[in-house]
Structure 1
Amino acid sequence: MVKNSLSANVLMMKKLLVFTLVMFIFGFALVPFYEKFCEVTGINNLLKPDVLVKDNWVDEGRWVVVEFDANTRGLPWSFKPLQTSARIHPGEPVDVMYEITNNSDREISGQAIPSYSPRFLDKHLKKFECFCFTKQVLKPNETRQMPVQFVIEPGLPTDIQTVTISYTFFELPAGTSAIKK
């Protein structure tokens, strides 16, 4: 009877080891599947520059107000857009400047993450230059002005008259490269 329970325990141990190994391999296999899923669906493309189309059509028959927002999380930085809004025609290229200041006595690295309102704006917003594409390193008390160049495509639904583009800076631990694109 002891022999039967011992062999039952050994069998259960083998099954658990196989299960653990399969789950470990499955965890590693999920990474390329996730990256491909994000590539296909357009998720996680917020930190990559778009390509400027030279013969871009501008819808001069309508206006859209773009509001600019800036935030920091856990950083001793001051961060603001130099203009709080812009009235634009869809399809018209826009240049906006943001200003950031490190109010501490140490060098700090950070990265900005964009967010948009309405949520589907990212499908109609093309950014050509943005400080959010790279890690920003600011020396103590350094102030820097950073550009954002973008266009909102004329395909934006006509019932949308106001949109918001917001950036939030997060601190990157020392020795960390930019957030993976």
Structure 2
Amino acid sequence: MNKQEQGQTGETRALNAHMLGKLVVVAVLMFGFGYALVPVYKKICEITGVNILTPKDATVQDVGNTQVDKTRTVTIEFDANAQGPWRFRPTVGSMQVHPGEMAQVVYEVVNTQARNVDAQAIPSYAPQQAAAHFKKMECFCFKQQTLGPNEAKQMAVVFYIDPALPKDVKTITLSYTFFEVAGTGKKAG
């Protein structure tokens, strides 16, 4: 190899090292950007009201002396959807409540796996306009649930329907989707 060929090889190595440095910086910046998107996404969802992970509606003290509207009843239908390794269902299919009256429903979940599973429940309401009037005091949807291997749990939802619910709404469906929170389950030991 002559000196000119050796010089080009040295230059090529220097250019390759320089390019590798640039690629490492780009990869680190991409990772940092992706990592920063999670809190940014949560904040945008919180501000816009989209995809909120079930904030707590009120406390017992906030409710105070709610007036019960005995002149009408609303049928509350309960639904459950399981997206993961469990059985999930309400203990009753429906109930009649008076607006302003406290009520409770229990959901049962059974982990069918031989490992711990972390899960979250997300509610949805039909008709959609009812969501603003469905007030949960206690709910298993307020936080993630950890289910041990083959564990069964009964989880309560304590709620009332705001008397300001439009009079034409006679039935509300409360539906929960219970899904596994990826990457958080731990092996049973």
Range into which the TM-score falls when normalised by the shorter chain: 0.7 to 0.9
List runs of 5+ in structure 1 lacking aligned partners: 1-23, 177-181
Tell me which amino acid in the other structure corresponds to 2:56: K
The answer to whether structure 1 residue 94 and structure 2 residue 103 are counterparts is yes
Cα deviation code 1:86-124 (max 9, x no counterpart): 101011011111111011111111100100000121110
CA distance, structure 1, for counterparts of residue 50 and residue 184 of structure 2: 29
Tell me which amino acid in the other structure corresponds to 1:173: A
The answer to whether structure 1 residue 47 and structure 2 residue 52 are counterparts is no
Cα deviation code 1:58-83 (max 9, x no counterpart): 1100010000011111x120011111
Question: Where does residue 79 of structure 2 map in the other structure?
Answer: 69
CA distance, structure 1, for counterparts of residue 50 and residue 119 of structure 2: 24
CA distance, structure 2, for counterparts of residue 109 and residue 31 of structure 1: 22
CA distance, structure 1, for counterparts of residue 136 and residue 67 of structure 2: 16
Give secondary structure in 2 for the equivalent of 1:61. coil
How many residue pairs get aligned? The number is 148
Cα deviation code 1:33-80 (max 9, x no counterpart): 725633xx587272324223120011100010000011111x120011
Tell me which amino acid in the other structure corresponds to 1:108: V
Question: Where does residue 162 of structure 1 map in the other structure?
Answer: 171
List runs of 5+ in structure 2 lacking aligned partners: 1-32
The equivalent position to 2:158 in structure 1, one of 149, 155, 158, is: 149
Using the TM superposition, give the Cα deviation of residue 152 of structure 1 relative to its aligned residue in structure 2, in angstroms: 0.6
Structure 1 vs Structure 2: percent identity of aligned residues? 43
**What TM-score results when the alignment is normalised by the length of structure 1?**
0.73
Question: Where does residue 68 of structure 2 map in the other structure?
Answer: 58
Cα gap change, 1:31/1:45 in structure 2, threshold over 3 Å: closer, same or farther?
closer
Select the structure that is richer in helix: 2
CA distance, structure 2, for counterparts of residue 123 and residue 70 of structure 1: 20
Give secondary structure in 2 for the equivalent of 1:111. strand
Report runs of 4+ in structure 1 exceeding 6 Å deviation: none
Tell me which amino acid in the other structure corresponds to 2:69: D
Cα RMSD after superposing both structures: 2.4
Tell me which amino acid in the other structure corresponds to 1:171: E
